[in-house]
Amino acid sequence: MFSAVFTQAARRELIEAQDWYEAEGTGLGRRFRAAIDALTERMRENPRQFPVVLRNIRRALLRQFPYSLFFVIEDDRTLLVIACFHASRDPQRWQERV
């Protein structure tokens, strides 16, 4: 099984989104984080199930929230998550990190 490592930018985006959802409704931030954790587990189990969207970057969509995790397969054991991104944001913002 792969390990998942979040870049500092991706971790910051995840925390900001979680805090925003929690401010919108008690427990909603926890539900968002649980959905991220479940998606990360799916990524770790079989990262190649997610489509390549740019060069070697793959996108994993959350089902319950309008967010995606963008990641690369670093080696035989590591996934590097480069963005936790809202679907309505300009994709050039995460693409600049590549």
Which tens digits make up the pLDDT trace of 24-40? 999 999 999 999 999 99
- How far is it, in rounded angstroms, from Cα 18 to Cα 30? 7
What is residue 74's predicted lDDT score, i.e. its pLDDT? 94
Query: Is the per-residue pLDDT at 76 higher than 90?
Result: no
Residues 6+ apart with CB under 8 A from 27: none
CATH of domain 3-95: 3.30.2310.20
Domain boundaries, the chain: 3-95
User: What are the φ and ψ backbone dihedral angles of 71, each rounded to 5 degrees?
Assistant: -150, 165
Q: What is the DSSP letter of 2?
A: -
